[in-house]
């Protein structure tokens, strides 16, 4: 009773699950960016009505999940399984958010690649008949991430040009075993790729080799070139990482002409002082669950490859001199099955 | 092309995947306990040849994965997908361990329920035809966990009687879509259950309601009583949590006569000064991948329900006065399909 084929490293679904409702939630800075109009909800400050930044992050996930359920016409009890995670130690952002809903839960951790991973697993679960509806969600918050990974905000450290700005946003999407699309048609999980980068302020360079490895493997599995897609969308490589990714493809004598990066799309880099671009789990999740999936429904893109990218580090691993491995999971989303 | 049926909250596999090789690795204290003889490898000190405790934890995972592959007669390149996580912030214990192998990877986080979650997802993936072989692994380390969740070891804080001792151990298991068994026949994912416990030194009480919720749901899905199993095995409820779990079942007029807990099995509580018992992802993982699966192969048990239990907290959530929700995923393992 196979529900999919493993071709190379790629899982191709026999009966692709359909994306039902999806929602994105952001904060003021995200609302001021070029994609501001695509958010379902924007909070005016970083607290989302809560008293700590960590609780704000949970409130944001909760709002995104509620909106995705609303837009799907479903109640929490209709969902068989959630896949969610976030950047906070022990993933408390998502688990404290989801305890309100009473839905069976699998916590996932792929750093900023979490939305790809959660969507991939939600699709694999729905396509196999293991669930009625599944839900994928993730988030990031500038203030919680800075103190988690770098220095307290109060320290006011200087940010080098390769730094990215952690997006304060969340995204959630509901999947159904059948429906009118868009469909998740194939998935390529990522390998942990360590290029030896030790600069915790240059995540783009740390993640680009993983993005290349996964996209290369995905295209090779399907015997396709980049032109299979209307859009190849990485998560948060930013300006530095996107350049490196395109260089890797040039070494293969291929031009990644249809590439864009959520970290480059979500802010106006000149006007919003975000250096190399946006980052964080919530960056790719909110861009996908708003701007991109809305655009696919409007026919702007018909087949995309969504490749959220993650940097695997902790404050402790950095303090101990470890390098920063990257990971990237690719999810093919198509308007036709 | 359904690969399984969703009955209530429980996924029942049409073609149950088979557990191939599995291995457990521990440290001196684990070797001195009643299950010492069941470990595949025991390290004499807490460093496993590394220079920090965090690197020691990664070394331990690596060793468990290598041994599980060896015992399966497989190379890393034979594995389609790993599912692994650990208690360290951003799961660096497992991700830094697995970067050596070049296997596609999905990071998971279920606190001390991680082995159940990883096994469940590895089984769901293998049973659906998405993978050739899959691997589930997790770990915990007394020294990394204490400074992650509580106080620096050097502080020498007094431990209340409800405290558990984080096990320094790792477990890994390889799954194949077909084989001679033992089989993973069904899986019930856990809900996040918050009983309002705020004492980070009483994890058993925090997790017991989640264990009850999942085991109850699993038995109800299958229309079965506890006597369906030769053994209902929780992860690390310890003495305090195990008593609470059995009380919950007594309220349902059922005696959980065949219950045991990995946290009670791994140490001699009187002789080894571990208060309420062992805990940590590596507790249930190493007990399952050594003593239990070896015992199933020897015919000591024919059908068990493995229910690793997790407490969802971080140092930050505790400092902010949050309660500690629990989660528990149940995995049915049987010698017959």
**Are A172 and A114 a contacting pair, CB within 8 Å?**
no
Q: A58, A62, A109: best mutation site toward chain B, by most B Cβ within 10 Å?
A: A109
- DSSP codes, A111-177: TBTHHHHHHHHHHHHHHTTS-SEEEEEEEE-HHHHHHHHS--GGG-----TT--EEP-EEEEEEEES
User: How many angstroms away from the CA of B7 is the closest CA of chain A?
Assistant: 9
User: How many angstroms away from the CA of A75 is the closest CA of chain B?
Assistant: 16
Cα three-residue angle B9-B15-B17, rounded to 5 degrees = 90
A315 and B89 within 8 Å at the Cβ level: the answer is yes
Q: According to the model, what pLDDT value does residue B157 have? A: 81
What is the mean predicted confidence (pLDDT) over B115-128?
Answer: 98
B320 and A89 within 8 Å at the Cβ level: the answer is no
Judged against a pLDDT cut of 90, whether residue A275 lies above it is answered with yes
User: How many angstroms away from the CA of B229 is the closest CA of chain A?
Assistant: 23
Sort out which chain B residues have CB atoms less than 8 A from A102's CB and list them.
Answer: 191-192
Q: Judge if ipTM > 0.85.
A: yes
Buried b (16+ CB within 10 A) or exposed e, B263-289: bbbbbebeebebbbbbbbbbbbbbbbb
Q: According to the model, what pLDDT value does residue B237 have? A: 97
What is the mean predicted confidence (pLDDT) over B120-134?
Answer: 98
A132 and B6 within 8 Å at the Cβ level: the answer is yes
What is the mean predicted confidence (pLDDT) over B118-140?
Answer: 98
Sort out which chain A residues have CB atoms less than 8 A from B129's CB and list them.
Answer: 1-6
B107 and A102 within 8 Å at the Cβ level: the answer is no
- What is the average pLDDT score of chain B? 96
Q: According to the model, what pLDDT value does residue A210 have? A: 98
What is the mean predicted confidence (pLDDT) over B279-287?
Answer: 97
- DSSP codes, B83-136: EEEESSGGGHHHHHHHTTTT--EEEB-BTBTHHHHHHHHHHHHHHTTS-SEEEE
Of A132, A165, A135, which is closest to residue A32 (Cα–Cα)? A165
Sort out which chain A residues have CB atoms less than 8 A from B53's CB and list them.
Answer: none
Of A14, A325, A2, A24, which is closest to residue A187 (Cα–Cα)? A14
Residues A203-261 pLDDT 10s: 999 999 999 999 999 999 999 999 999 999 999 999 999 999 999 999 999 999 999 99
User: How many angstroms away from the CA of A179 is the closest CA of chain B?
Assistant: 16
What is the mean predicted confidence (pLDDT) over B95-115?
Answer: 97
Of A52, A80, A325, the CB nearest to B95: A325
User: How many angstroms away from the CA of A19 is the closest CA of chain B?
Assistant: 19
How many C-beta atoms lie closer than 10 Å to residue A26's C-beta?
30
Give, in order, the Cα–Cα distances in Å from A118 to each of A111, A305, B334. Answer: 11, 15, 29
- What is the average pLDDT score of chain A? 96
User: How many angstroms away from the CA of A286 is the closest CA of chain B?
Assistant: 21
Residues A188-215 pLDDT 10s: 999 999 999 998 889 999 999 999 999 9
Residues A110-157 pLDDT 10s: 999 999 999 999 999 999 999 999 999 999 999 999 888 887 788 888
**Cα gap A289→A284, rounded to integer Å:** 8
Of A110, A129, A314, the CB nearest to B5: A129
What is the mean predicted confidence (pLDDT) over A295-299?
Answer: 98
What domains can you pick out in chain A, each with its CATH number?
4-176 (3.40.47.40), 183-334 (3.40.47.40)
What is the mean predicted confidence (pLDDT) over B215-219?
Answer: 98
Q: According to the model, what pLDDT value does residue A287 have? A: 98
Judged against a pLDDT cut of 80, whether residue A1 lies above it is answered with no
Please report, rounded to a whole number, the percentage of residues in chain B having pLDDT higher than 70. Answer: 100
Judged against a pLDDT cut of 90, whether residue A65 lies above it is answered with yes
Residues B235-245 pLDDT 10s: 999 999 999 99
B132 or A154, greater pLDDT: B132
Residue with tokens 């669950």: A289
pLDDT tier for residue B224 given thresholds of 50, 70 and 90: very high
Of B257, B287, B260, B319, which is closest to residue B34 (Cα–Cα)? B287
pLDDT tier for residue B151 given thresholds of 50, 70 and 90: confident
Strands (E), chain A: 4-7, 10-13, 18-26, 41-42, 79-86, 105-107, 133-140, 165-166, 169-176, 183-188, 231-234, 259-261, 278-279, 303-311, 326-334
Nearest residue in chain B measured CA to CA from A81: B189
pLDDT tier for residue A321 given thresholds of 50, 70 and 90: very high
Q: A85, A108, A130, A312: best mutation site toward chain B, by most B Cβ within 10 Å?
A: A130
A3 and B3 within 8 Å at the Cβ level: the answer is yes
Please report, rounded to a whole number, the percentage of residues in chain A having pLDDT higher than 70. Answer: 100
What is the mean predicted confidence (pLDDT) over A318-334?
Answer: 96
**Structure token digits, residue A266:** 């979500």
Sort out which chain B residues have CB atoms less than 8 A from A312's CB and list them.
Answer: 90-92, 95-96, 99
Please state the pTM of the whole predicted model: 0.98
């Amino acid at each position: 009773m196979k529900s999919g084929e493993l071709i190379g490293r790629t899982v191709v679904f026999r009966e692709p699950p359909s994306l039902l409702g999806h929602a994105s939630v952001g904060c003021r800075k995200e609302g001021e960016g070029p994609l501001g109009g695509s958010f379902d909800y924007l909070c005016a400050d970083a607290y989302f009505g809560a008293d700590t930044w960590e609780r704000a992050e949970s409130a944001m996930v909760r709002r995104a999940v509620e909106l995705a359920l609303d837009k799907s016409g479903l109640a929490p009890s209709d969902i068989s399984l959630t896949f969610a995670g976030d950047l906070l130690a022990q993933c408390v952002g998502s688990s404290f958010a989801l305890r309100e809903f009473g839905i069976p839960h699998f916590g996932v951790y792929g750093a900023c690649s979490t939305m790809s991973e959660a969507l991939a697993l939600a699709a694999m679960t729905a396509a196999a008949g293991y669930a009625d509806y599944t839900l994928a969600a993730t988030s990031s918050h500038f203030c919680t991430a800075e103190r988690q990974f770098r220095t307290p905000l109060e320290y006011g450290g200087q940010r080098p040009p390769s730094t990215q700005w952690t997006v304060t946003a969340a995204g959630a999407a509901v999947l159904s075993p059948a429906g009118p699309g868009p469909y998740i048609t194939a998935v390529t999980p990522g390998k942990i790729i360590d290029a030896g980068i030790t600069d915790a302020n240059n995540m783009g360079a740390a993640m680009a080799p993983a993005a290349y490895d996964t996209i290369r493997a995905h295209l090779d599995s399907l015997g396709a070139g980049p032109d299979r897609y209307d859009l190849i969308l990485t998560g948060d490589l930013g300006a530095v990482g996107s350049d490196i990714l395109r260089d890797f493809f040039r070494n293969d004598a291929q031009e990644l002409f249809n590439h864009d990066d959520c970290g480059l799309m979500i802010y106006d880099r000149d006007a919003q002082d975000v250096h190399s671009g946006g980052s964080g789990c919530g960056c790719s999740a909110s861009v996908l669950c708003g701007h991109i999936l809305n655009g696919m429904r409007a026919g702007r893109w018909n087949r995309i490859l969504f490749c959220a990218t993650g940097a695997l580090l902790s404050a402790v691993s950095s303090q101990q001199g470890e390098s920063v491995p990257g990971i990237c999971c690719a999810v093919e989303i198509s308007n036709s099955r």
